[in-house]
Amino acid sequence: MKSHKINKQKKNIKNLLKKFFLLDECISASVVGSFTENKDISNIGDLDVVVISKSISEIFINKCKLLIKKHKFKIKKKIKINSSFGPVKYNKNLFFTVHLMVYDINGHIDHVVKSPFTCYDWERKNINIGKSLTEIYTANKLQLVDFFNSRRAINNHYQDLKDQVVSTYSYVFTKKGYSLKHKKIKLNKLNKLNYSKHIRQHGINNFYKFLYQKNLKIKKNNINKFLFNQKLQSNNLIKINKNKSSIDNTEEFLNKLYLRLKHIKKESNSITFIRHAKTRFNNKSFLGRKRNVGIINFKNKDKLYYDKIYCSPLLRSIQTAKKFRKKKLIIKKFLNEINYGNADGLNIKQLNKLYPKIVKDWILKKDPRFPNGENLSMVSNRVTKFLKYISIDLKNQKSKKYLIITHNVFLRCLIGSFFNIKRSDWFKLKINHLSKFDFIFFNNKIVPNINRKILKKVMGYKINEFSSSN
């Protein structure tokens, strides 16, 4: 009987999403958060709805609000619409709150960059119509850097609790367009408890996801054991459902978590990948191994000292490596640029004229080899072999700094595979000369630790993809 009721509720919510999707501007409509876990409206505080549109306008948001007002949720409570961004809660005994969050493509991408914890959680489980949030732009995984750099970083939560406020954002429309206004709302008695609970629950889950590099929630009966193992436990710290000095306990938890993450940062080995400095032959022709050219001189602003620098045997890679302070320089063939074979020196038009099948196969999302050269799979195999090689080297070491000087296609394969990008899209990744891509060696494996603003530039094609198709 209960499962029948839940199925009816799910169908009801899907019908709402379909109504959003019928609006001309709508690209995607999703329900995320607590409903996707409980599937029962009576057990949730609010219904989180995410709508992605082609553009943002007050008219479109009002249309969405009207659809919510007219929709029959089959619930006795009064419907309240919250169209701001942020963890504000309303009395669930009085209201059934629909938390409406509307973004355009740029807005969604910006939200993933600034709030990866929230967006990653949305990707784990949702109900959607149209393009999925993951398809549009994905958080993909949590990184150590996210805990320090994001909008919901530890220090931000700590400061909010100290000031007893919650940070929210809302659209402000003018004749010139719109902007997001930041507002701090004073925590009332209800929100103090809810916000503290929210921070602790998500803090534990986010740390768990980072440690295991998977989008999984920790099971409730494993929480205490997990906290103890990670040295985050203390008296009454995780009594998240009890109204017991919740803010004090949460501040204590945040402090312990911060120290634990700082320790990981300090003790982990760091691996930084960069593309070699620019050459005069980086002119939209295929520059592989045949033209072994030198770099255009540059002033290196990186003052860090590296324990080891690895580079490819190509001159442009070696010359770049010599610009950095190092203990040891090691040359590895694994790090070579893709072998373009007979296509080396050609541009895309010339390639299409001389070897049209290669271009046709790319269009069909195949992975053809360059004539007498390599394909992406072969480069990707070299990436895997190199990672295994330095993993053995880094094992049982602490706080070592490695710098890897390599090439465009190698880095496309590296980032494409780590962030689960379709292989047919790897060529779209923009890898600038001397751009840094940070990783750490943690729990005996290499995991990314890349600033999300850098990732956004690398995956900029996502913005163009949707603006051109819509």
Q: What confidence score (pLDDT) does residue 191 get?
A: 74
Q: What confidence score (pLDDT) does residue 344 get?
A: 97
Q: What confidence score (pLDDT) does residue 467 get?
A: 58
> Residue with structure tokens 């100290």?
162
Decide if 120 contacts 33 (C-beta within 8 A). no
Q: What confidence score (pLDDT) does residue 243 get?
A: 45
Q: What confidence score (pLDDT) does residue 89 get?
A: 74
Element (DSSP H or E) covering residue 53: strand 46-53
Q: What confidence score (pLDDT) does residue 240 get?
A: 44
pTM: 0.91
Element (DSSP H or E) covering residue 99: strand 95-104
Q: What confidence score (pLDDT) does residue 224 get?
A: 85
DSSP-based three-state secondary structure for 221 = helix
Using CA atoms, how far residue 409 sits from 38, 125, 279, 412, 437, in Å, is: 44, 33, 16, 5, 14
Low-confidence residues of the chain: pLDDT under 70: 1-6, 39-40, 42, 91-93, 234-247, 466-470
